[in-house]
Amino acid sequence: MENKKRILTGDRPTGKLHIGHYFGSLQKRVELQNSGLYDPYILIADVQALTDNFNNPEKVRKNVREVILDYLSVGIDPTKTTIYIQSMIPEIAELTVFYSNLVTIARLERNPTVKTELAQKREVFGESVTYGFLGYPVSQAADITAFEGALVPVGEDQLPLIEQCREIVRKFNSIYGEVLVEPEAVLSSGKRIKGLDGNEKMGKSLGNAIYLSDTEEEIRKKVMGAVTDPKRIKKDDKGNPDICMVSYYHQLFSTKEECKTVCEECKAGTRGCVGCKKQLINNIVTYLKPIQERRKYYEQRPELVDKILIEGTKKAQSVAKQTMKKVKKAMRLDYFEGEETCS
């Protein structure tokens, strides 16, 4: 692995993963993993999930299991990718404390990503944001640098977080010496998937998502309620597929020929919305079938899933310990080096 750049990605375990995660990130992670060119690490960010779910720890704990099942179901291979749990790496918390001395409150408040997310969390925080939420970019910098993550695939909206991490790394290295690896943001080529309601973002909290583990009945119910052209009242009315979410999802789950037919018949008024939705439902169910079959395999083998998490976390712990050793030496905090009681 020495010659391979380490890629670091992750997800907050606040719910099952949906098709927005799949087309936006997971599909690309599997591709990078299988290329053999990188050393991928995937973090299940349970501590970060607690920043806005601090009063519901059981939700976070339950969804750690759901998230790894989704990882394994889409093809994340634990023999090629290290999967680990954030809270089981104490070095991350320790690095967060060290880094907090290098960032001002004003700088955190100016972070565009933080500002946007604070606006979305008003119902959680009201006007009084917690230190943990405001400071999560510092924790994220620790997530990345603890494992010497060289490449971090992100969406455009996450770029300010990576830039803040780079600032922390540069400041640390300027004070203590060249210790930390400065990560490089890799803009994800994955597309942001719109919600069933036409919202620009599909999200767990927005109630507009199709989950990778949804049953056929759940998919049917959701697709039948998807937003279509509001001006199209009767079956023979001419429609506009460009504003129809059913047509939009056909582009993800149907063949090029099917998509062409959908658009032409919609515009001509020769295709009904109900029939179009039924065709889409069938295509989604067919597409997700192998993913759901793999999920079922792992659901029936909880001991295997535990083993994957334990082994991945142990490997991550070993890497983080080495990073912390270098950090403490640089900061002159390596007291009683070699003494067993202080290891």
Could you read off the pLDDT of 211-221 as tens digits, one per residue?
A: 999 999 999 99
Q: What is the largest CA-CA distance in the chain?
A: 82
Tell me whether residue 267 is exposed, middle or buried, using C-beta atoms within 10 angstroms of its C-beta: 0 to 12, 13 to 18, 19 or more: middle
Q: Which two tokens stand for residue 76?
A: 């994340």
> Looking at the DSSP assignment, which residues form a beta bridge with residue 41?
8, 82
Residue 296 CB contacts under 8 Å (≥ 6 apart), including other chains:
none
Closest C-alpha to 70, from 118, 20, 113, 31: 20
Asked if domains 5-194+302-342 and 216-297 share a fold, the reply is: no
The architecture CATH gives domain 216-297: Orthogonal Bundle (1.10)
Rounded Cα gap, residues 6 and 87, in angstroms: 20
pLDDT in tens, 242-271: 889 999 999 999 999 999 998 988 898 888
Rounded Cα gap, residues 316 and 310, in angstroms: 10
Domain borders along the chain are: 5-194+302-342, 216-297
- In this prediction, residue 336 has a pLDDT band, given cuts at 50, 70 and 90, of confident
> Looking at the DSSP assignment, which residues form a beta bridge with residue 83?
42
Q: Residue 165 in contact with residue 145, Cβ under 8 Å?
A: yes
Per-residue pLDDT at 1 exceeds 50: no
Q: Which segments of 75-149 does DSSP mark as H helices, in order?
A: 90-100, 105-110, 112-120, 122-125, 131-134, 136-145
| Residue type for position 114 | V
- Among 97-101, 159-163, 325-329, which is the least confidently predicted range? 159-163
CATH class of the domain comprising 5-194+302-342: alpha beta
82 Rama sector, left if φ>0, alpha if ψ -120 to 50, beta otherwise: beta
Q: Which two tokens stand for residue 85?
A: 């749990």
